Each structure stands twice: as C-alpha cells, then as structure tokens.
C-alpha cells in the first residue's frame, strides 16, 4: 500500500492495513464496457426510430399526384435508355447501309462481265445460302449466262447428306461438290486429284482441296459444247463466309484473294486469271435484305459478333433449332428452361463473371455465337422431301441452262468425289430444318439512309474512287485491296536531285527495287530523327535557362 493511501485512510478513520484488490479494477472496466454497449444500442435504436418517423412523415405528405409523377419519371428514364440502345443499333446498321449499294453495284459488274456464274453454297444449309434475287438477276441478264451451284465445305457434313443435297439441287442447276483448301501458305496450295467419291477421311480432314478437277472439267465441257475458242469469264457469287475467295485460291493454287472468318473481307470486285482460257471474278458477299432478322444473319455468319448490341435473340434462335440434350452434353451444363438461364449456367461454368460474382451473360452469349460461326458447333440440314421449282426458275430455263453442260460427266465426277469418303457421322451434329432461301438486298435504301450523290457517282468507277474512299474512311469498307498504278509526274529540268523515298512511297516502287528503297527510307528516317533530337535538346536547354529564376549569393 502506498504512503499516501495510508494517510488518507487514517484521516477517514480506517484502522489497520488498507489492501487494494485487483478485482475492483476489472469490475470497473467491465462496467465501463457495459455502459458503452448500452449507449451504442440506445443510439442505434434512436436512429432507427428517427428514420421510421421520417418515412412516416414523408408518406403522410406524399399524395397520389406525387406518386404518379415519380412513376412517370422512372418510365421516362427507362424510355431514354431504350432510345440510346436503339440509336446505337442504328449506328451499327448505318455502316452496313452505306455499303449496300456499293456491294450491289459490284455484283452487277460481275453478272454483266461473266459467262458462267458460280453460286457458292454452304453444304450445311445449301438452301439457306441461295438468294432468289441473285438467280433472278442472272436469268434476266440473258440465256447465254449459266448458273452452276458449288456445294462447298462438304467436309463438315456426312456423305449421305451431301448426296441428298446434290440430288435435290441438280433438278434446277448443275451442282458440284467441293472442299476448298485451308493451307496458310501463299503459293503451291495442295490440290488432290482424287475424286470426291474416292476421298478418304484423312484426305477430307486435311487442308488439301478436293473437287477442283470436277469443276474444271465442267468448265471445259462448257467451252467444248459451245465451241468457245477464246477465254471465258467465270464469276463467283454468294453470301458472306461461304468460301468464295477460298474456292478461287484453291483453283489458282495460290492466295490470290484475301480470306477470313469474319464477313466483309472482300470489299470490291477482284479479277484473277486462272490460265489463258479462264478468268475468275471474285465478288463481295451478297447483302441480306433489311427485313432479315439478326438471328437469321447470325445463323449464316453474315454479321460481326462484335457489333451485336443484344446477343440474346440469336442464342434463343439457336436453342430453338437444336436439341436441349445435345446442348447440355456439348457445354456440360445442367437442365435449363430459358435461354437466359442457360447463359447464366454457362457463364458460371466457364468462369465468365462480373463484379460480385454475377454471371456475365453477354460474354457467354457471344461465346456461343463464336462457336456457331467458327464451326465448333456442327450442324446440318436435310433437303425437303419433295422438290418444287422456285417461282423464279421455270422448266424451260432449267432445260436451256443444262444444254451447255455434260450432265453425265458431272454426275460421274460427283460420284467419284464422294465414293469411299468417310465424312463426319450424321449423329455428330445438330440436325435442323432448313429455313428456305434467304432474301437479298437489291441496293434500294430508305430515303433517310440514301448516300450522297457525289459518293454514288464515285462508286460508278471504282478505280477513280479509291482515293476518296481513303479520305472518307467508311468503316464498313475499310482499306480497299485494289491495285492502282501511280500516275507518272513530269519532272522539270531544274528539279532537285532524287531524294530517298518515304515508307508510304515504297509501295509504288518496282518490287525488285523495294529492298533498296526500304534501306534508303530507313537511313533518311534516322537522319530526320537525329535532327529532331538536336532541335528538341536545344529547345529544352533554352527553356530551362529562361525559367531559371535563382539568384546567386553576392
């Protein structure tokens, strides 16, 4: 016990020793904690009562009119968001509308210049890849122009399905089974001489081309039957991503045309000389009619997945066409009832989550669409059981078109192409019903989306329009792949000596001298960079000296 405490005890009248218990301090702190907790609880109760009283007072003041105004304000906000989404969709579609007339003009050029038109079809849905407007335009251009249907991508469906479609389509036009080469090299593309009927599964699964000999024989028979001594022009048309440019590269055995898995790679007419007797014309993809739904365009890979604002409707269309059991087995998801529930399960299964662990259904939907367009979801369609001629094709036209070809030789060639081939099993893909022919756009645009007259006039002659297209930078067209010879400029006698070319000018230089021009341009660029560095250093030093406000001690 401390001395001060003893003195205090004596003064208060306590006798004996004064002992201080340590338990009193513990009780003191415990009581303090209890008091703090009680005060905190009381404060929380008070705040809750105040909040409830404020809400009650607010509900008393709010009448029916204010409640109605609140609902109207929320409705206006919702409508504004919907209008923003629609304007975004129109902005994306406006890029497509700007190119409709240009693409249709390119198609008309091909039809006018070609003697034989190859309409390329996807073997998974051949009827859906046919366009009645295209065939009608070819028929109306004259009976001297012939239509040949090329059934491309036969390696993606079974042999039985290919045979059924060939039997169905040859009732109208000559049909050739074909598989384009998928090699990435630029020259000497492999082309198999084995007929499609004798092609093995290893050959069909390889990158070699199959069916080119049958197509070349068909064109040769056309020249012999019509006694054509000069060269013929063959146009290649079809919807985007059916393999038009790949077919030309396979026949040319070189990468003469740019190819890609996204629609719109070919922007304008391209002329490729196969040999001295055959000239091929590559045409941009046929533009679908504006009435075609997004789901229909997705099923035919005619729209870019990145431009979709709402990917849910196309996924719903795919789920309606496919079996739920096959979808569950393919993606490894449990049973679902709606498309949104399927996307939520798929997003969780693939780890596509937002903040807070919420499933990112948009990413999952675009992933499904990428699987569909990329071929990871295999599908096929059966031809109709009974064949009926379309309204734009008559029996007289079929007879007149068939006179120029050797049907027996064509049938024999297709049988040789398909004999012995081991294509994918029928049960491996999703069987769907064909939706019939797809309507195309003939270049007629709404008044609000009409292109400028000056721009239309420029599109008449594509060679003269290339520079203006580069200035406008139409996002739908992008850079043109047309080679235009640079005009020679007369040089004056007292002109300065030749200088090193810029990097942009190397394209116009002779290919044999491009290496030297590239070295000269590199040296010039280094010199310019050194000069710029010197000027920048001097400017920096002068600014530093001008901004130095320090005073020396004197």
Domain CATH number, residue 304: 1.10.1580
Domain assignment of residue 536, yes or no: no
Domain assignment of residue 133, yes or no: yes
Instruction: List, in sequence order, the alpha helices (H) in 209-293.
Output: 212-225, 244-252
Nearest to 379 by CA among 208, 158, 201: 158
pLDDT tens readout for residues 250-288 = 888 777 666 665 555 666 777 888 888 888 888 777 765
Residues 164 and 278 in one domain: yes
CA separation for the pair 310, 293 (Å, rounded): 12
Are 441 and 248 a contacting pair, CB within 8 Å? no
Domain assignment of residue 507, yes or no: no
Residues 313 and 369 in one domain: yes
Q: In terms of residue numbers, what domain contains 458?
A: 451-481
Residues pairing with 440 in the sheet: 288
CA separation for the pair 155, 170 (Å, rounded): 20
SS3 272: strand
Q: Give residues with Cβ within 8 angstroms of 325, minimum separation 6.
A: none
Nearest to 417 by CA among 194, 168, 154: 194
Domain assignment of residue 508, yes or no: no
Domain assignment of residue 155, yes or no: yes
Residues 32 and 54 in one domain: yes
Strand pairing category for 175-177 and 278-282? unpaired
CA separation for the pair 14, 18 (Å, rounded): 8
Q: Give residues with Cβ within 8 angstroms of 268, minimum separation 6.
A: 102, 106, 284, 462, 480, 481, 482
CB burial string 272-282: b at 16+ within 10 A, e below: bebeeebbbbb
Domain assignment of residue 417, yes or no: yes
Number of domains in the chain: 4
Task: Kindly report which listed range (121-130, 188-197, 202-211, 350-359) carries the lowest average pLDDT score.
Answer: 188-197
Nearest to 361 by CA among 330, 376, 339: 339
CA separation for the pair 31, 26 (Å, rounded): 9
Task: Kindly report which listed range (77-86, 189-198, 223-232, 394-403) carries the lowest average pLDDT score.
Answer: 189-198
Section 222-228 average pLDDT: 76
Domain assignment of residue 407, yes or no: yes
Higher pLDDT among residues 516 and 50, named by residue: 50
Residues pairing with 146 in the sheet: 116
Indicate if the pLDDT at residue 110 is higher than 80: yes
For 380: left if phi > 0, alpha if psi spans -120 to 50, otherwise beta; the answer is beta
Instruction: List, in sequence order, the alpha helices (H) in 261-387.
Output: 294-299, 312-321, 324-331, 339-350, 361-374
CA separation for the pair 172, 182 (Å, rounded): 30
CA separation for the pair 311, 289 (Å, rounded): 20
Instruction: List, in sequence order, the alpha helices (H) in 242-299.
Output: 244-252, 294-299
Q: Compute how many other C-beta atoms are within 10 angstroms of the C-beta atom of residue 374.
A: 11
Residues 160 and 274 in one domain: yes
Q: Give residues with Cβ within 8 angstroms of 149, minimum separation 6.
A: 118, 119, 121, 126, 130, 169, 172, 173, 174, 175, 176
Q: What is the pLDDT at residue 185?
A: 61
pLDDT tens readout for residues 8-20 = 767 666 655 545 5
Q: Which helix (H) or strand (E) holds 28?
A: helix 23-61
pLDDT tens readout for residues 468-488 = 333 333 333 333 322 223 334
Section 49-55 average pLDDT: 85
Write down the mean pLDDT value for the chain: 71
Residues 351 and 214 in one domain: no
Domain assignment of residue 363, yes or no: yes
Reading the block at residue 112, the tokens are: 């006018």
382-386, 454-458, 543-547 — most confident range:
382-386
Residues pairing with 273 in the sheet: 279
The pTM of this model reads 0.57
Reading the block at residue 531, the tokens are: 């000069």
The residue to which tokens 């990871």 are assigned: 376
Residues 150 and 34 in one domain: no
């Amino acid at each position: 016990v401390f001395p001060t405490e003893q003195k205090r005890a004596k003064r208060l009248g306590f006798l004996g020793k004064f002992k201080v218990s340590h338990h009193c301090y513990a009780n003191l702190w415990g009581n303090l904690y209890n008091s703090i907790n009680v005060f905190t609880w009381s404060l929380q109760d008070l705040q809750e009562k105040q909040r409830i009283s404020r809400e009650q007072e607010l509900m008393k003041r709010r009448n029916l009119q204010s409640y109605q105004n609140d609902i109207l304000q929320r409705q206006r906000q919702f409508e504004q968001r919907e209008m923003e989404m629609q304007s975004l969709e129109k902005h994306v579609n406006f890029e497509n509308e700007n190119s409709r007339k240009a693409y249709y003009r390119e198609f008309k050029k091909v039809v006018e210049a070609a003697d034989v038109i190859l309409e390329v079809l996807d073997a998974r849905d051949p009827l859906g890849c046919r366009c009645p407007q295209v065939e009608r335009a070819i028929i109306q251009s004259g009976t001297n122009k012939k239509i040949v249907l090329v059934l491309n991508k036969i390696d993606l469906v079974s042999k039985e399905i290919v045979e059924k479609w060939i039997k169905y389509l040859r009732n109208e036009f000559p049909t050739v089974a074909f598989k384009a080469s998928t090699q990435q090299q630029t020259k000497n593309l492999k082309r198999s001489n084995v007929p499609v009927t004798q092609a093995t599964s290893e050959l069909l699964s390889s990158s070699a081309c199959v069916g080119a000999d049958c197509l070349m024989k068909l064109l040769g028979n056309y020249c012999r039957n019509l006694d054509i001594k000069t060269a013929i022009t063959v146009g290649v048309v079809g919807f985007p991503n059916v393999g038009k440019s790949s077919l030309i590269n396979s026949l040319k055995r070189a990468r003469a045309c740019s190819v890609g898995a996204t629609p719109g790679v070919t922007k304008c007419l391209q002329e490729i000389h196969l040999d001295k007797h055959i000239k091929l014309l590559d045409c941009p993809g046929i533009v679908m009619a504006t009435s075609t739904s997004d789901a229909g365009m997705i099923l035919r890979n005619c729209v870019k997945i990145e431009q979709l604002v709402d990917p849910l409707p196309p996924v719903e269309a795919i789920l309606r066409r496919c079996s739920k059991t096959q979808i569950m087995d393919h993606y490894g998801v449990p049973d679902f009832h709606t498309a949104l529930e399927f996307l939520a399960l798929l997003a969780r299964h693939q780890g596509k989550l937002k903040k807070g662990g919420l499933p990112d259904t948009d990413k999952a939907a675009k992933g499904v669409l990428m699987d569909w367009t990329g071929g990871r979801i295999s599908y096929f369609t059966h031809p109709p059981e009974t064949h009926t001629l379309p309204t734009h094709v008559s029996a007289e036209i079929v007879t007149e078109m068939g006179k120029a070809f050797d049907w027996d030789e064509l049938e024999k060639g297709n049988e040789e192409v398909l004999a012995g081939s081991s294509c994918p099993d029928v049960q491996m893909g999703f069987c769907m019903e064909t939706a019939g022919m797809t309507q195309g756009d003939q270049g007629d645009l709404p008044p609000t989306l009409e292109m400028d007259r000056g721009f239309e006039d420029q599109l008449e002659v594509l060679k003269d329009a290339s520079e203006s297209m580069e200035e406008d930078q139409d996002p739908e067209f992008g850079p043109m792949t047309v080679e235009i010879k640079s005009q020679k400029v007369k040089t004056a006698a007292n002109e300065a000596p030749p200088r090193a070319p810029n990097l942009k000018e190397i394209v116009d230089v002779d290919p044999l001298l491009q290496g030297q021009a590239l070295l000269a341009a590199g040296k010039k660029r280094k010199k310019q960079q050194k000069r710029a560095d010197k000027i920048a250093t001097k400017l920096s030093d002068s600014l530093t000296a001008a901004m130095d406000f320090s005073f020396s001690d004197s």
